[in-house]
Chain A
Amino acid sequence: MATKRGTGEMRDRVVLGEFGVRNVHTTDFPGNYPGYDDAWDQLRFEEGFRVDVVREEDDALEFDMVGIDAAIANAFRRILLAEVPTMAVEKVFVYNNTSIVQDEILAHRLGLIPIRADPRLFEYRNQGDEEGTEIDTLQFQLKIKCSRNPRAAKESSDPNELYFNHKVYSKHMTWVPLGNQTDLFPDADFRPVHDDILIAQLRPGQEIDVLMHCVKGIGKDHAKFSPVATASYRLLPDIALLQPIEDEAAELLQKCFSPGVIEIQNVKGKKVARVANARLDTFSREVFRHEGLKNLVRLARVRNHYIFSVESTGILPPDVLVSEAIKILMGKCQRFLNELDSVPME
């Protein structure tokens, strides 16, 4: 009985000790635990697996994935960061740039602007292809000139009054359709996601006249192609009180954790601490700084419960990004299955 409980903790909890973290690695492989059948069973996986969506806003999504292993959850996270494709400015043809922002700095800034264009409608550009075709390139133009306002008051020092077009925003970027793109995308509105990204500042007489080519790429190539502001996950915290904690110790315990984690109930006139919502805790490990409390609490994380947080840059909604990431992992497997079938292994 005791051994079964001990192995239970080893199998499904990552324990946070005072000086280190224990049971980090996945050990439930066939043969490691006598009495457990750990071979891969799709039905058992499907019974134990679930996804719970916690919160969805315009660009942010928080959801729980329960019953999956770290290797696969991490694969989804890595793909979300680096392998889901997007469109971004790659080539900048500078016809005139008399601003004080150097050409290459301007080009770098333009590349980082997120472009609202569904990358699934476009193809990757072939290597060595210098001219863009209409199926793999989006063209944008930024043409703006700063001039003096003749009607400004003589003593005014406010640039907004003195000059026209002295701040170049991303809303000044206009889409220039290539070839038959107006027919291919009749009601598409390709523009930067945000209108108020400041690209450069000008003074009278300075102008910027550039033509930009956007191509499809992935975050592995350059971070500008990454579709997420960030995508991360954490494991569900699991706080266990090994002994009942009362009165002042209970108050102290409540202060050791994030607000809302420990609640104090009144049981028969005494104040007793109880774990209300372990999910809110950020594990600052403040408990371990108090001699009287550190042996009464066990801090752990549930090994197969992942709380994902995906924040998109606005190009694609976050749930579409997660679906695309899963499809990309399937695509990788399919690629190798095809290779196995096409090349006879000797």
Chain B
Amino acid sequence: MAEEGERKAALEVQADGTDGNCVTFVLHDEDHTLGNSLRYMVMKNPDVEFCGYCITHPSESKINFRIQTRGALPAVEPFRKGLNDLMGVCQHVLNTFERSMKEYRAQREEEMQ
């Protein structure tokens, strides 16, 4: 189903290097929808050396999401920034879409009269 009732970790760390620069996150109940869009946003970050995701098995709905940073930046930072940037994109898309719908309807009202 969509949302779980009891407390279940949606995010855990599967493997990480000694200094926190390379981390593999396991995201539960996710697939290409969030995986690919988040991968795109994290790749747009110039501090990221490697970013990729894979679906471990098609019968399980979880993805392994790996981030490697260049330099001494902990890998959680680009992950957080990617999520925030994706939220920003969605918010802007929502605002623009609703504004365009309003303008389109207003224009059609005018044409009808």
CB distance from A91 to the nearest CB of B (A): 14
CB distance from B106 to the nearest CB of A (A): 11
- Residues of A near B2 (CB, < 8 A) are 83, 85, 124, 217-218, 220-221
Q: A40-B41, A75-B37, A124-B3 are in contact. Are A49 and B96 (CB under 8 A)?
A: yes
A78 to B97, Cβ gap below 8 A?
Answer: no
- The number of A-B residue pairs with CB atoms under 8 Å apart is 137
B37 to A221, Cβ gap below 8 A?
Answer: no
Q: Which chain A residue lies CB-closest to B36?
A: A71
- Residues of B near A63 (CB, < 8 A) are 97, 100
- Residues of A near B76 (CB, < 8 A) are 340, 345
A49 to B11, Cβ gap below 8 A?
Answer: no
CB distance from A73 to the nearest CB of B (A): 9
B92 to A46, Cβ gap below 8 A?
Answer: yes
- Residues of B near A29 (CB, < 8 A) are 43-44
Q: Does A284 contact B (CB under 8 A)?
A: no
- What is the 8 Å Cβ interface bit string for chain A, positions 311-334, against chain B (1 contact, 0 not)? 000000001001100110110111
- Residues of B near A323 (CB, < 8 A) are 94, 97-98
Chain B, interface size: which category?
35 or more
- Residues of B near A45 (CB, < 8 A) are 89, 92
B85 interface neighbour in A40, A46, A49, Cβ under 8 Å: A40
Q: Does A196 contact B (CB under 8 A)?
A: no
Q: Does A343 contact B (CB under 8 A)?
A: yes
- Residues of B near A332 (CB, < 8 A) are 30, 33-34
CA distance A322 to B97 in the complex (A): 9
- Residues of B near A51 (CB, < 8 A) are 93, 96-97, 99-100
A326 to B83, Cβ gap below 8 A?
Answer: no
Q: Which chain A residue lies CB-closest to B10?
A: A339
**B window 71-113: CB within 8 A of A:** 76, 79-80, 83-94, 96-101, 103-105, 108
Q: Does A200 contact B (CB under 8 A)?
A: no
Most buried by A among B13, B32, B104: B104
Q: Which chain B residue lies CB-closest to A61?
A: B101
- Residues of A near B27 (CB, < 8 A) are 336
CA distance A336 to B3 in the complex (A): 13
Q: Does B56 contact A (CB under 8 A)?
A: no
Known: A51-B100, A74-B36, A340-B83. 8 other contacts (CB 8 A): A30-B44, A42-B92, A50-B96, A74-B32, A74-B33, A221-B1, A330-B94, A332-B33
Could you list 12 A-B pairs, sorted by A, with CB under 8 Å? Answer: A31-B46, A49-B92, A126-B5, A332-B30, A333-B38, A333-B86, A333-B90, A336-B27, A339-B9, A340-B76, A343-B9, A345-B76
